[in-house]
Chains A and B, each alone.
Chain A
Amino acid sequence: MALKGLDIFKLTPKTNCKDCGSPTCMAFAMKVAQGANSISECPHMSAEALAKLSAATEPPMKTIAVGVGECAYKLGGETVMLRHEKTLVNKNLYAVFLTAEMQDDAIDALLAETVKIDYERISTRMFVECVFLKCGADTARNIEIAKKAIGLGRVPILDCADPEVAKTVVEATKEAKPVLCGANAANWEAMNAVAKTAGVVLGVSGADLNELHDTVEKLEAAGNRNLILNLGSASIKDAFANAVEIRRAALKNGDRTFGYPSIVNLAALAPGDIVTQTALASIFTLRYGSIIVMERIGYAEALPLFALRQNIFTDPQKPMRVSPGIYPIGGANENSPCCITVDFALTYFVVSGEIDRSRAPVNLLVPDAGGYSVLTAWAAGKLSAASIAKFIQEFEIESKIKNRTLILPGKVAVLKGDLEGKLPDWKIVVGPNEAIQLVKFLKDFQ
């Protein structure tokens, strides 16, 4: 629960000593309430007041770190239920599902299919970050498979409810900072010891939310606040209900016990049904799944899911942008004409999609236009004859492309005259107003 400035003020020494850099204690308290200053900047706070304040200013949902190095990710740390309220901060991760009982060739085939998913979309690398391993009794076998995943740069999620097995497996893989799932009401003490000793995140399950709540309370009392909550595999309905109830409790109802990220195993909820798993992954991407485990993730699954995640985990105050440059479409080469648009991702996608559909080879030029749409960029002075000419010069378009035809968005036809002045070698053509008219325009144009 956020404290108001006045509540914080009551806990300050009220001496206006200025040691914190603020003119008065009141001013300082206000800044702390806004999050601009930290309470620790006041050297005169009593220990009792500090404890009270740090508990109150603690975020409602903890940020949990998994993996190491290039494969390090953060989960949780959300402050709002929905994207538009502020922004969602830590995107969910996807995992593929393995069991120790699978044959080697099946495991290798699945991992090979998984690592094939590696591509770039709007300047972000898209790939499956984690591998979920349902461990068996054979410790060496578990370690062997987990190490395969680590070798491929994936964070292992080890599902193991036997503390003895878990201990050895985690000990052998702890450098990769895996997640250890499998703590429950019966084994939490022993599992807690394993996770704490190795310094890894512990996944907690419960038969229902009451039992889960109870176990988390015990783990917290034992000093472990590095947890992930399992949404369960009893039914699709329960898993979704748990996802919403847990997030709602943490963010809306002030229940810190549930202030942790979640994990959901779709391979258990819809076994053998990859279409339903994809639909569920889509729902959990929007609604409160932090690690989403699927039986497999091929291109058919990755393309919509990764794209959806990229959409949802964007700051609503900042438009999604593509990086400026030349984007050849439809097999375009140096002799193909150029179309110019803006770097607002939505505009880029619509325009490039329509050019694609026209099957005409076109070099799509994307200058830095502040991430605005065409008309907005023009109105804001981010898309002008001068900025286009500068882009063509900076990106050395004239040496890279021989064709000297530049198609301008119809909405900024007004730039034609100016551009002809600035780019005398080029033939400036005014294109259609709407992207949807591009197919016909490009066909007629040729």
Chain B
Amino acid sequence: MPFNRKPKVFTPIGALSFGDGARAVTLGGGNTLPLCFFDAKPNNLPAVGVEITDTGFDTAGLPLLAAPYDGAVTLAERAVRAANLKGVDFVCLRFEGADPGGLNRSAEDCAKLAQEVAAACPKPLCIAGCKNTEKDTELFKALGTALQDHNVLFLSAKEDNYKTVGAATALAYGHKVAAESAVDINLAKQLNILLTQLGVPKGSIVMNVGSAAAGYGFEYLSSVMDLVKAAALEQGDAMLQMPVITPVSTEAWMVKESIVSQADMPEWGDVEQRGIQMETATAAACLASGSDAVILRHPVSIEKTAALIAALV
């Protein structure tokens, strides 16, 4: 008896584009369960973003990460190099230097830098803050205006600042905005509702439902994403049908597996290889759980992840 195939195809979830003119990327629009492109031809493939920061990374022991940026002096030059890495769909510029506990770069200075990057960078831009909610709010306000013609994606609006961030970016200039919640489907949905009530169109919102490195509570993240996708596809919950973006690099390059040097842990071997595998394994797990976009840091992780997505189609 032949096998009785029963494809699972659903009404597509929302899709959203960011980036201006020729440089644009579309996220979402999925009509199958994550990566199940054998059920139906996908409308858009999951996108891969490259992360750069205004402060640059500490590349001690990471020659392969440092190499593409060798000789690039300005942030704009680094952004161009990042954008041209193999497999990159968009560039995520993270303003780590804005952190009041660190460099405390002013919002105006950040805006100037962002404008230089936007003028030079050949791929769509996504802007991330420094994780200090107060400073990020101020930063996004300034950048929303400074980048008004570029249709960028802001990462992220949270429960504490969604009004200001949503108004200063999506409402005022038609930017796209990510609603960030911490691994909780109810909060994710609530934030989407709050943003739409503010007047932000559904089609301008992506969800950042949290992130975790493999082994560090990843079960919570994957279960929340499984639930989000089930609600979006199987139950048609309009308030959870926004595409999901997952910043992987910030988590993957923070855990001890990726940072303890070979000198401290000889049996673990090369630290860069460990970081690459942690980042790639986490990214693949996020994609299998339902991320429509992942943000990665290492050129090797980016190339292999993009190639894997292509191989699944």
- Taking beta carbons and an 8 Å cutoff, which residues of A are in contact with B? 82-84, 116, 121, 209-210, 212-214, 217, 235-237, 240-241, 244-245, 248-249, 252-253, 255, 257-258, 273, 275-276, 278-283, 285-287, 298-301, 303-308, 310-312, 314, 316, 320, 345-346, 349-350, 353, 356, 440
Contact of B226 among A84, A237, A303, A440 (CB under 8 A): A84
Q: Bound complex: CA of A338 vs CA of B224, how far in Å?
A: 35
Q: Known contacts A237-B313, A282-B288, A283-B287: does B6 contact A276 (CB below 8 Å)?
A: no
Within 1-28 of B, Cβ neighbours of A (below 8 Å) are at 1-6, 8
Q: Which residues of B contact A237 (CB under 8 A)?
A: 37-38, 311-313
Q: Bound complex: CA of A245 vs CA of B278, how far in Å?
A: 28
- Are B4 and A283 in contact, with the CB atoms below 8 A? no
- Are B4 and A255 in contact, with the CB atoms below 8 A? yes
Can you list 15 contacts pairing A with B, beta carbon distance less than 8 Å?
A82-B230, A235-B311, A236-B312, A276-B304, A279-B284, A299-B269, A300-B268, A303-B277, A304-B277, A304-B281, A311-B222, A345-B217, A346-B217, A346-B220, A350-B216
Which of B217, B257, B283, B284 has most A Cβ within 10 Å? B284
Q: Which residues of A contact B1 (CB under 8 A)?
A: 213-214, 217, 257
**For the complex, is B280 an interface residue (Cβ under 8 Å from A)?**
yes
Q: Which residues of B contact A300 (CB under 8 A)?
A: 268-270, 273-274, 276-277
Chain A: minimal CB distance from B126 (Å): 22
Q: Known contacts A275-B304, A280-B308: does B3 contact A212 (CB below 8 Å)?
A: yes
- Taking beta carbons and an 8 Å cutoff, which residues of B are in contact with A? 1-6, 8, 33, 35-38, 101, 213-220, 222-223, 226-227, 230, 254-257, 267-270, 273-274, 276-278, 280-285, 287-289, 300-301, 304-305, 307-308, 311-313
Q: Which residues of B contact A214 (CB under 8 A)?
A: 1-2
Q: Which residues of B contact A213 (CB under 8 A)?
A: 1-3
Q: Bound complex: CA of A210 vs CA of B254, how far in Å?
A: 46
- Are B226 and A308 in contact, with the CB atoms below 8 A? no
Which residue of chain A is the closest to B273 with respect to CB atoms? Answer: A300
Q: Bound complex: CA of A236 vs CA of B268, how far in Å?
A: 29
Q: Known contacts A299-B268, A304-B257: does B288 contact A287 (CB below 8 Å)?
A: yes
Q: Which residues of B contact A84 (CB under 8 A)?
A: 223, 226-227
Q: Known contacts A241-B38, A304-B278: does B308 contact A312 (CB below 8 Å)?
A: no
- Are A303 and B278 in contact, with the CB atoms below 8 A? yes
Chain A: minimal CB distance from B149 (Å): 36
- Are A82 and B267 in contact, with the CB atoms below 8 A? no
- Are B285 and A283 in contact, with the CB atoms below 8 A? yes
Chain A: minimal CB distance from B271 (Å): 9
Q: Bound complex: CA of A286 vs CA of B33, how far in Å?
A: 13
Q: Known contacts A83-B226, A237-B37, A248-B6: does B216 contact A349 (CB below 8 Å)?
A: yes
Which residue of chain B is the closest to A113 with respect to CB atoms? Answer: B269
Q: Bound complex: CA of A310 vs CA of B312, how far in Å?
A: 25
Contact of B218 among A255, A280, A308 (CB under 8 A): A308
Which residue of chain A is the closest to B33 with respect to CB atoms? Answer: A244
Q: Which residues of B contact A301 (CB under 8 A)?
A: 277
Q: Bound complex: CA of A241 vs CA of B288, how far in Å?
A: 12
Which residue of chain A is the closest to B259 with respect to CB atoms? Answer: A357
Q: Bound complex: CA of A314 vs CA of B217, how far in Å?
A: 11
Contact of A240 among B3, B219, B283, B312 (CB under 8 A): B312
Contact of A356 among B256, B284, B308 (CB under 8 A): B256
Which residue of chain A is the closest to B34 with respect to CB atoms? Answer: A287
Q: Bound complex: CA of A240 vs CA of B36, how far in Å?
A: 8
Which residue of chain B is the closest to A241 with respect to CB atoms? Answer: B38
Which residue of chain A is the closest to B274 with respect to CB atoms? Answer: A300
- Are A305 and B304 in contact, with the CB atoms below 8 A? no
Which of B283, B307, B311, B313 has most A Cβ within 10 Å? B311
Q: Known contacts A209-B5, A275-B304, A278-B280: does B37 contact A311 (CB below 8 Å)?
A: no
Which residue of chain B is the closest to A244 with respect to CB atoms? Answer: B36
Q: Which residues of A contact B213 (CB under 8 A)?
A: 304
